Amino acid sequence: MSDLLRRALAVYGLPEDTPLTLLNRSENETWRAGDLILRLHRQGYHTPPEIASELAWLTALQDLSGLTTTRPIPGAQGLVTGIAGRHIVAFAPIDGQELQPGDDLARWFAPLGEITARLHLHARQWTPPPGFTRKRWDVETILGPEPHWGHWRQAQGLDRDGEALLARATDALAAKLHAYGTGPQVFGLIHADLRLANLMVAGDTLTAIDFDDCGFGWWVYDLAAALSFIETDPRLPDLIAAWVDGYSRIANSGPEDRAMIPSLILLRRVLLTAWLATRADSDTAVALGGPAYTQGTLDLADRYLLDGLAAFLP
């Protein structure tokens, strides 16, 4: 892939001997190239119009008060570069470090709630450009027969009893989400992946990065995504309460929305369980995937069927 990216350097005005450093391999590959961050998109996932739509929203967010985020950098072909059938985009670098599970997360979840509320308010008021298209994150595209990130039945280490348990839990989950609906009061354009790895901390500043999965989903799903891979952390109830407090300072959050938080946490966990199985080549899957993660999902599903994950209610 470094050879492919080296062909893209001239498109961004960079010398052909610019050092290339692989930063992360997840859904896409992220590389450092001189003073730019390059994202090489996974083949067969996002279309060029979808990528351009992500960058259109990200560009519109640049002057939003109270929000710090990544800035797209155009090349000679515009914001999306095509080389040998692959798609590449560039961003200005961000200062700071990724938020880590071992950090003082309670300090950051109220500010994260504020940031998320600002994103949602902007999305509600923004008029997207013609041709704007992004994926939907709903019952059909997460739990249906052909989900975006693969089916949970592919989870590593899933046996017959576990499959039956997850089938019961996801049936209950789907029924609750269908009843909640997808009206504009509860569903719209969201980041959809505000997990710790996509939050950069520099001093007192929290920066949201990687809008690659932004699309149309439940507003409260952005909280569930922020809890990715830490769903069993004992701090979770306090983190949820802090997020809700921060969100409520900026935008309204009704009791019916807060009541859906446990369901959306389970939905996100099921989605990630499938993703880890279908993206086994990713750094995240290597670090966090496998039968142990699947067992954690089963434990969460069992609790959901028992009491609806009542401990997570703010």
Confidence at 1, pLDDT banded by 50, 70, 90: low
* Per-residue confidence (pLDDT) for residue 27, from 0 to 100: 83
* Per-residue confidence (pLDDT) for residue 251, from 0 to 100: 97
- Judge whether residue 290 has pLDDT over 90: no
Indicate left, alpha or beta for 263 from its phi (over 0: left) and psi (-120 to 50: alpha). alpha
Closest by CA position to 73, among listed 112, 33, 104, 107: 33
pLDDT in tens, 84-109: 999 999 999 999 999 999 999 999 99
pLDDT in tens, 35-68: 999 999 999 899 999 999 999 999 999 989 999 9
Closest by CA position to 277, among listed 149, 173, 168, 160: 149
Closest by CA position to 263, among listed 218, 229, 206, 233: 218
What's the CATH fold of domain 2-93? Phosphorylase Kinase; domain 1 (3.30.200)
The pTM of the full predicted model, rounded to 2 decimals, is 0.95
Contact 16, 9 (CB under 8 A): yes
Annotate 90-123 with DSSP letters as a single string.
EE----SEE--TTS-HHHHHHHHHHHHHHHHHHH
Contact 192, 116 (CB under 8 A): no
Q: Where are the domains of the chain?
A: 2-93, 98-312
Q: 98-312 sits in which CATH class?
A: alpha beta
The arithmetic mean of pLDDT across residues 137-147, rounded, is: 96
Mean pLDDT of all residues in the chain?
Answer: 95
Give the HSE-up count for residue 146: Cα atoms under 13 Å, Cβ half-sphere. Answer: 0
